[in-house]
Amino acid sequence: MSQAVCITTPIYYVNDRPHIGHAYTTTICDVWSRAERLMGRDVFFLTGTDEHGSKVEKSAAARGISPQALADENAAEFQRALATFGISNSDFIRTTQARHETQVQEQLRRLVKSGSVYLGTFEGWYDEGQEEYHTETRARELSYLSPISGKPLTRATEQNYYFKLSAFADRLAKHFADHPTFVRPSERANEMLGRLRDGLQDVPITRTNFSWGIAMPDAPGHVVYVWIDALFNYITALELGSADPARPDRSRYWPATYHIVGKEILWFHAVIWPALLMALELPLPKCVYAHSFWIADGQKMSKSLGNFVDLATIDRYFAQFGLDAWRWYMATQGPIAATDADFNAKHFHEIYTADLVNTVGNCPSRVGAMIGKYFDGRLPADSTAGQPAHDGAIGSHSWDSLCATTVREWESRMDAFDLQGAARIAIDLLRRVDAFINETAPFKLAKDPANAVQLASILNQCAQTVRVAGVLLEPFMPSKMAALAGAFGGQASSGAPWVVRVKYGTIAAGHPIEKLALFPRVDPATCVPAG
């Protein structure tokens, strides 16, 4: 039985249209899922939409439609967007689905039974846009303004059901201490620890001031707070709280390997969610990874500035550079670490040209062209068993061992969600092939028939290595790399087990090698303007 792994995106609010933020989180999860599947793992990749709450209720009222109609419309738009981004999710959960609602109610009954929920009165600083309460200390830090919308926080009082978050402070602190990579990157873990040290207050988990939500069981008038409702999606999709005998068995996917979230929603995922799971006696996710933000031309993206990279802009990038180039840029240049990343058209073009046109496109095209010219498009034999004719480009390695080492390194980077590292390793392999070609100069050797054996070996080694690099790049650029696998095929081109696919030397001598042009040059003058 292959190892089960699970990755999740946040579930997206349906009162927003899809934009680069959603595209980013979902794409990096997709790259990881494809990589893990390629390595033979049993992957569950979850995304979906967060459809309850007063914001949705209000937006729907403003349009004169029901909240459900608004949710249906926008959930469909998110699903269409996933298809255009080439996303391979295993499920799409919507919080208005019956499977979710009944299980949330079941989990709430369990929480009440466990003694970690009580009825109390709450007064606090409320961020209406985020549907989030802040403590006095935090509100003061924020100058009583929403960190997201900049609008004033309002003072609000409610009789609510509370979750005894305070009771979990010590266990949470211990979990952080015992699992240094529970929250990543480490800057974010330190931030959470700092806030944990400030102390934890119990959190209201129901509301009475709106009705568009899941009813709190046995508590008329109380609706489950949208964040609590939403967090449960990670386990309702896996049917962990389901009593339905016909449910699919997905329990092997819990605990999640990675919850990938944006930094502004980390508190919910790194503190509140784990405490809820502790109260329910369920295992905690292995890692909550909080990425930073895309900014545009040095400025924060916001609706009021009108500089959000929206679907229409993303479509223009697809038209000009192709979906795979977009995915490559997201996965390799994005705000995965603790700092924000700038999105701009010029940088996009530079990366496209350096990585894709000049390396991932050019290297196979060079190799294919030479095999075409000197060997009629058939792979010539290597009489040196992978030993390079010249040791400059790869030191004392054989290509065979260099590929094997690269593959192992790539596997561990991928498992650790170091997508940028994995991408660099794969592209470096192609850069080595390029350097090897420059050093050995097959085009010069070809001038003298006495060099035929050496020339054949060099080109064979180049082609074998290009094929392996193409497999390592496949999760990032599935369709272009499928074309590469087709052109440099061999028996291990697709569908074969991972160890076979990444094994050096599997293209048989005599196999046809096609010359292909993967990434056309794009004139910078015609580039998509940012925003």
Whole-number Å distance between alpha carbons of 253 and 7: 9
Q: By rule CB under 6 A, what count of residues binds ligand MSP?
A: 20
Token pair, residue 153, equals: 């926080």
State which of residues 5, 10, 222, 467 lies at the interface with ligand MSP (CB under 6 A). 10
417 counts as binding ligand MSP under rule CB under 6 A: no
Q: Does 22 bind ligand MSP (CB under 6 A)?
A: yes
* Least distance in angstroms from the C-beta of 121 to ligand MSP: 26
Please say which residue, 261 or 463, places its beta carbon nearer to ligand MSP: 261
Q: Cβ of residue 335: shortest distance to ligand MSP, in angstroms?
A: 6
Under rule CB under 6 A, residue 326 binds ligand MSP: no
Separation between Cα atoms, residue 482 and residue 489, nearest integer Å: 9
Contact call for residue 57 and ligand MSP (CB under 6 A): no
Smallest gap from Cβ 166 to ligand MSP, in A, equals 22
Sign of CA dihedral 391, 395, 400, 403: negative
Interaction residues for ligand MSP, span 215-244 (CB under 6 A): 230-231, 233
Distance in Å, CB of 57 to ligand MSP, minimum:
15
Distance CA 65, CA 212 (A): 13
**Closer Cβ to ligand MSP, 21 or 380, answer by number:** 21
Interacting span for ligand MSP (CB under 6 A) from 18-26, 112-120, 208-216, 377-385: 18-26
How large is the angle between the packed helices 323-333 and 419-440, nearest 10 degrees? 110
Helices (H), 280-361: 311-321, 323-333, 345-351
Span near ligand MSP by CB under 6 A; candidates 17-25, 35-43, 82-90, 453-461? 17-25
Return left, alpha or beta for 77; rule: phi > 0 is left, psi -120 to 50 is alpha, else beta: alpha
Nearer to ligand MSP, 250 or 269 (CB): 269
Q: Binding string, 182-221, against ligand MSP, x = CB under 6 A?
A: ----------------------------------------
Residue 48 forms beta bridges with which residues?
93
Decide whether 25 or 359 has the Cβ nearer to ligand MSP: 25
What is the C-alpha separation between 17 and 36, in angstroms, rounded?
29
Q: Contact, 45 vs 89, CB < 8 A?
A: yes
Beta strands at 288-291 and 183-184: parallel, antiparallel or unpaired: parallel
Instruction: Name the residue nearer to ligand MSP (CB basis): 22 or 207.
Output: 22
Minimum gap (Å) between residue 281 Cβ and ligand MSP: 21
Query: Residue 339 has which token pair?
Result: 């700092």
Residue from 35, 60, 277, 301 touching ligand MSP (CB under 6 A): that is 301
| Rounded alpha-carbon distances, angstroms, from residue 28 to 174, 306, 323, 345, 372 | 30, 25, 14, 20, 37
Which residue of 5, 25, 224, 436 would you call a contact of ligand MSP, by CB under 6 A? 25
Q: Tell me how far, at minimum, the Cβ of 509 lies from ligand MSP, in Å.
A: 48
**Count helices and strands in the chain by DSSP H and E runs:** 21, 16
Q: In which residue are the tokens 């508590």 written?
A: 219
Pick the closer one to ligand MSP by CB: 56 or 357.
56
CA angle 221, 226, 228 (to 5 degrees): 100
CA dihedral 310, 312, 316, 319 (to 10 degrees): 120
C-alpha Rg value of the chain to the nearest Å: 26
Check: CB of residue 188 under 8 Å from CB of residue 338.
yes
CA 496/CA 468 separation, integer angstroms: 13
In the complex with ligand MSP, the residue whose CB is nearer, 13 or 399, is 13
Of residues 256-295, those binding ligand MSP (CB under 6 A): 261-262, 264-265, 293-294
Assign residue 227 a region (left: φ > 0; alpha: ψ between -120 and 50; beta: otherwise).
Answer: alpha
Question: What is the spatial distance between Cα 41 and Cα 26, in angstroms, rounded to a whole number?
Answer: 19
Under rule CB under 6 A, residue 16 binds ligand MSP: yes
Nearest to 161 by CA among 214, 94, 236: 214
Instruction: Tell me whether residue 56 or residue 407 sits nearer to ligand MSP (CB atom).
Output: 56
Query: Residue 230 or residue 458: which is nearer to ligand MSP going by CB?
Result: 230
Please say which residue, 12 or 399, places its beta carbon nearer to ligand MSP: 12
CB of 491 to ligand MSP, least distance (A): 41
- Residue 10 or residue 388: which is nearer to ligand MSP going by CB? 10
Give the binding range for ligand MSP (CB under 6 A) out of 11-19, 111-119, 182-190, 382-390.
11-19
Work out how close the CB of 272 gets to ligand MSP at its nearest, in angstroms, rounded to a whole number. 10
Strand partners, 50: 13
- Interface residues with ligand MSP (CB under 6 A) are 10-13, 16, 21-22, 24-25, 50, 230-231, 233, 261-262, 264-265, 293-294, 301
